[in-house]
Amino acid sequence: MRVAVVGAGSIARTIYLPILVDSDCVLDGVTSRSGESAAALARRFNIPRVYGSLDEVEADCAFVLTPKETHVEIASRLLERGLHVFLEKPMATTVADAERLVRTAERSGRILLVGFNRRYAPAYVALKEAWRDRPPDVLLAEKNRPGTEFRATLENAIHVVDLMRWVCGDAVDVVATAQYTDPYYETSCVAHVRFRHAVGVLIANRSCGQWMERIAAYGEGRSVVVDAPERVTVVTRTEERTTRLTPLAMGWSSVHDRLGFRQEVQDFLEAVRGGGQPRISPQDALETHVLMDRILGAAGLPGMAP
């Protein structure tokens, strides 16, 4: 199975290409806005071709790892040419474009998987399993990372917004607020989300000391706390049990495994190879973007409207 890579930035270089090199697929070629960066990646990872344009891409599937504002145009062209597409999140910068991309995938009959890798991370899989039968009463999700960036909440907090939906179900109401000087480079966003059977709180901050990702869920006489990427604590009325996932891999697990990157790539490649569907459908990914838009709008931040 031949795989093309579109984009030569840090996410391609540090995450996806090392995983793909270690898989049983064949890396056919790479392309980027800067031919020089694509050529450098080709040399580093022994990729035989550097495509001059998307029209030269010849493969069974493609990993689109470009800036978010380019996702829809690139993914749509590849889907229409018959390639299955793995697309980094967010799938689009507007809900309308995300909807259009979902329709393009449906019309083409090709697979479109959006990179919500946290759903594959062992710690978060354990969280979901703990609330398999019914959602928790309350879920607190924190996604903190020092240094703001363009549309920081959309770019980064969308990971835990997706996890909130995955664990709690459909959102009913959203109240939110944000701190910023420039609304396109916000410092903080805090949201209160009422789901049908749960209440969720999102905290996303970019003025913190270090990267921290944490989800705590409470209900039915127990607490389940995930301190990403590898620690899960379950507290009941009679005991507290903490599991660290690294020792389960004899100390060799990497961020690729602990945050679910390798598992999502495997899911995508297996679906392409076997003609099935990956765990996350395009419509499911779209619903996360719809909720993200509601949070941004409620916080007074630029939303995902055209």
Task: Indicate whether 250 pLDDT > 70.
Answer: no
Single pTM value for the model:
0.95
Instruction: Judge contact between 123 and 273, C-beta under 8 A.
Output: no
Mean per-residue pLDDT of the chain: 95
Q: Give pLDDT tens digits for 210-237.
A: 999 999 999 999 999 999 998 999 999 9
Q: Percent helix, strand and coil across the chain, each rounded to 5? A: 40, 25, 35
**What's residue 13's pLDDT?**
95
Tokens of residue 170, six digits: 């459909």
* The dihedral formed by the CA atoms of 30, 33, 38 and 41, expressed in degrees to the nearest 10: -100
Banded model confidence at residue 247, pLDDT cuts 50, 70, 90? low
Mean pLDDT on 240-250: 78
Element (H, E) at 4: strand 2-6
State CA 172 to chain mean position distance. 22
Residue 191 confidence (pLDDT): 98
User: pLDDT tens, 49-62?
Assistant: 999 999 999 899 99
Question: What's the burial of 168, exposed, middle or buried (CB within 10 Å: 0-12/13-18/19+)?
Answer: buried
- Residues facing residue 85 across a β-bridge: 62, 112
- The pLDDT value given to residue 245: 78
Neighbour count for residue 248 (Cβ, 10 Å): 12
Confidence of residue 35 (pLDDT cuts 50, 70, 90): confident
Q: Could you report the per-residue pLDDT of 158-181, keeping only the tens digit for each?
A: 999 999 999 999 999 999 999 999
- Domains, the chain, ordered by start: 2-117 (3.40.50.720), 118-250+281-298 (3.30.360.10)
Pairing of strands 61-64, 240-244: unpaired
Q: What pLDDT, in 10s, does the model give residues 75-122? A: 999 999 999 999 999 999 999 999 999 999 999 999 999 999 999 999
